[in-house]
Structure 1
Amino acid sequence: MSGQIELADAPSDAISAVRFAPQSPNRLLVASWDRNVYLYDTQAGEHGRLLRKVEHRAPVLDLCFGHDDNTAFTAGLDWDVNKIDLETGEKSLISSHEAGVKSIVYSDKHHLLVSASWDSTLHVHILKNGNLDHAPSTIPLPSKPFSISLTPTKLVVAMASRQIFIYDLAALSMLTSQSAPSAETGNRSILDIQPWQQRESSLKFMTRAVCCMPNDQGYALSSIEGRVGVEWFDPSTESQSRKYAFKCHRQADEGVDVVYPVNALAFHPLHQGTFVSGGGDGFVVLWDGVTKRRIRQYQAYPSSVSSVSWSSDGRYLAIGISPGFEDGNEVVHEGQVKLFIRELADGEAKGKSAK
């Protein structure tokens, strides 16, 4: 049976990211503009349980788990990348950018932690057993990054001016290892690493989110103008002819089409081609990316959907709700920020083409 709970002890300000642990389907991390990171056990009691809260110096914009479910990394407006031991709550500095850090991802296969900052750089950190092995390397970007995402072999960076850079993680790891000084020196190398591919977004307006397919074949990206595009890595003419884009998260109001940003995307970890989108209209929608059809749309949430995440077993969907700045209201009042955990019924997320 499908069902939904609202987690207790939600953040007091807007939610910037929700992330399920890579191994534990009941372990959820949440980043907030209230300067805290929250760790929940989503299956404890009727409304989950807050296990830990770790304060930062400024709003936290993104986070990810590391090599295990007890290690997390955070990025925020304090310009810093931090490591958190979730067992003790101890926070330690990994590196600092020269502007706010918008996104952070971890590749377990390559032991790479990559942060993307509004200073138009990537920091590439090599980790061993969760600890920094080399001083991070800096990769300059041509414009400000808005969102990054990983597959087992690729890093996709979506930037301003609708630019998309795709890096090969094996090459990134090798070049970073060769050029990085020791962590003790505190120095940072600047690498002139060319991306594996450079593209222009198929969407006409500013990118809001990018999310890679778990099968390593491509990615989806969304815009501020109620559209989602699906693209493949394979540069062949045949594969590139498969890419497509569609309108979504639009509501008719007295005959006028009101368009909302698509804030969040997440591919299902098991059902190939299935992904979910969350919009400023307060809707969460399941899509079949293979047949290009909507699977289902859930009831409207009370405000904008800011972030979504699947549990590792694909059974649970975490949904972060914050008052959207779509209505011009930039003040978040108590009780307006909410966290929901939706349990999906068997087959609920299967695409039309799935067997």
Structure 2
Amino acid sequence: MSTTESSQFELVNPPEDGVSKVIFHPSDPNLLLVSSWDKTLRLYNVEKNELMKTIDTGAVALDCCFGENNTAFYGGLDHKLTKVDLETGKTEVIGEQNGPISTICYEAETDRVFVGSWDHTLCVWNASMKKKSHEVSVKHKIFSMDLRNKILVVATSQRKVFVYKTDDMSEVWQERETGLKYMLRCIRLMPNGAGFACSSIEGRVAFEFFDLSPEAQSKRYAFKTHRHIVQDTEVVYPVNTLAFHPRYGTFASGGSDAVVNIWDGENRKRIKSMTKFPDEIACVNFNYNGTKLAIASSYTFDEGQRDFSKVAIYIKNVADHEVAPRNQQSR
């Protein structure tokens, strides 16, 4: 079966190099922001399959996110946190780090941007004032972050996870070491606020819970995924990306095996394995109401520079039976 399923289509005018992030607008189910190694930021209307805007970022953008009032933020290899007006394309630098910016999150309630960098720091910038309010050394490169309901989770290069309550960035709320034995790739908060999931380069995903009681901690687990038998040998692939469904709490995982899986984490079951895509899965993201899933199929530079087949972004129209937990599906 090809990737041209009836519920799925390919966006026009994709980036010309690897995709670093796809992220839907927090309140518009059809607006998608895409950052890329081709030094562009692209805004799509996925319902119309239309490229609305292309912004030249000047350097490789490793992450991006929406801001308020038709704005967005991006950062990357030039060390700069940049704000862009998505209507006019005008950009302004909010601040600068001492190393490449790997991940950013925006908190609308406070107009703050949380910036993780390879310079081992977590910084908080006031977007309007263009002023840094906090700088925290985490002693390791920051690879991934997520922010939801005033909880910020930070995944670092030494498998450490730092959890902050954004109302008080003066101290770490929790410092965790996951059950994963190898380098972390992605971390995402559960929609119900109970904890987070994180993935690693050795084909595993871990579920962790904030409640430190023995009962809650007994529910922690990790499982193997994105592994295939090739000529009688198990080949293990990095799990590059995770995304929780906003209504059901199930989640999608994407790996360097070019496969996207949908999981029922609570019941520890796989709901769906999607058809193999042309290249590695760099990023996945559900829109805010869970009706669409964006899938970036592109080379992720796991093996340094090499030829790759194509860069493509697919939009899957999501049916409830594909993402609902097994115990909530109609019989």
CA distance in 2, matches of 1:310, 1:164: 24
Name the residue aligned to 1:143: 140
Contiguous gaps of at least 5 residues in structure 2:
none
How far residue 112 of structure 1 moved from its aligned partner, in angstroms, is: 2.4
Q: Look up the SS of the partner of 2:229 in the other structure.
A: strand
CA contact (8 A) 2:82 2:92 kept: yes
Contact 1:61 1:102 (C-alpha < 8 Å) held by counterparts: yes
**Separation in structure 1 between the aligned mates of residue 155 and residue 264 of structure 2, nearest angstrom:** 23
Which runs of structure 2 are paired with 1:229-308 in the superposition (5 Å)? 229-272=206-249, 274-308=250-284
Match of 1:223 in 2: 200
Q: What is the TM-score with the length of structure 1 in the denominator?
A: 0.88
Superposed CA offset, 1:2-48 (max 9, x none) = 6011001000000000000011111000000011100001111xxx1
Are 2:173 and 1:196 equivalent residues in the alignment?
Answer: yes
Distance 2:217 2:53 in 1: 45
Determine the C-alpha separation between the residues in 1 that align with 2:6 and 2:290. 13
Structure 2 CA distance for aligned equivalents of residues 110 and 82 of structure 1: 18
What is the CA deviation profile of residues 297-353 of structure 1, one whole-angstrom value per residue up to 9, with x for unaligned ones?
A: 000001100000101110100000113545x462355x6110100001233210113
The residue identity in structure 2 corresponding to 1:144 is: K
Is residue 2:328 matched to residue 1:331? no
Change (3 A) 1:139 1:329: closer
Cα distance in structure 2, aligned partners of 1:280 and 1:31: 19
Give 5+ residue unaligned stretches, structure 1: 173-192
Seq. identity, %:
40
Shift of residue 71 of structure 1? 1.3
Letter of the 1:205 partner, please give it: Y
Answer yes or no: is the 8 Å Cα contact 1:271–1:354 preserved in 2. Answer: no
Q: Once the 2 structures are TM-superposed, how far is the Cα of residue 202 of structure 1 from its aligned partner?
A: 1.2
- Per-residue deviation, residues 102-157 of structure 1 (Å, max 9, x unmatched): 00001223432100010011110234xxx236444311112111111112021111
2:259–2:275 contact (8 Å) kept in structure 1: yes
Distance 1:318 1:16 in 2: 13
Distance 1:288 1:316, change over 3 A: same
Q: How far apart, in 1, do the equivalents of 2:75 and 2:210 lie?
A: 27
Structure-2 change in CA distance of 1:329 and 1:199 (3 Å): closer
Taking only aligned residues, the RMSD between alpha carbons, in angstroms, comes to 1.6
Write the mapping of 1:146-165 to structure 2, written as runs, cut at 5 A. Answer: 146-165=143-162
Q: 2:63 aligns to what?
A: 62
Distance 1:270 1:257, change over 3 A: same
Per the alignment, do residues 92 and 170 of structure 1 end up closer, same or farther by CA in structure 2, a change over 3 Å counting? same
Match of 1:169 among 166, 170, 178: 166
CA–CA separation in structure 2 for the residues paired with 1:133 and 1:306:
31
Instruction: Provide the secondary structure at the position in 2 that maps to 1:348.
Output: helix
Q: TM-score, normalised by structure 2?
A: 0.94
1:217-274 Cα shifts (integer Å, max 9, x gaps): 11000000000001111121211111100000001011100000000000001113x0
Q: Return the match for 1:340 from 308, 314, 328.
A: 314
Counterpart of 2:168 in 1: which secondary structure? helix
Q: Please list, as runs of the form range in 1=range in 2, the aligned pairs for 1:54-133 lying within 5 A after superposition.
A: 54-68=55-69, 70-127=70-127, 131-132=128-129
Q: Which stretch has the larger CA shift, 151-160 or 4-13?
A: 151-160
Question: How many pairs does the alignment contain?
Answer: 325
Name the residue aligned to 2:41: 37
Residues 105 and 149, structure 1, Cα contact 8 Å, conserved in 2 = yes
Q: Using the TM superposition, name which of 229-238 and 96-105 deviates more.
A: 229-238
Quick one: which amino acid aligns to residue 55 of structure 2?
V
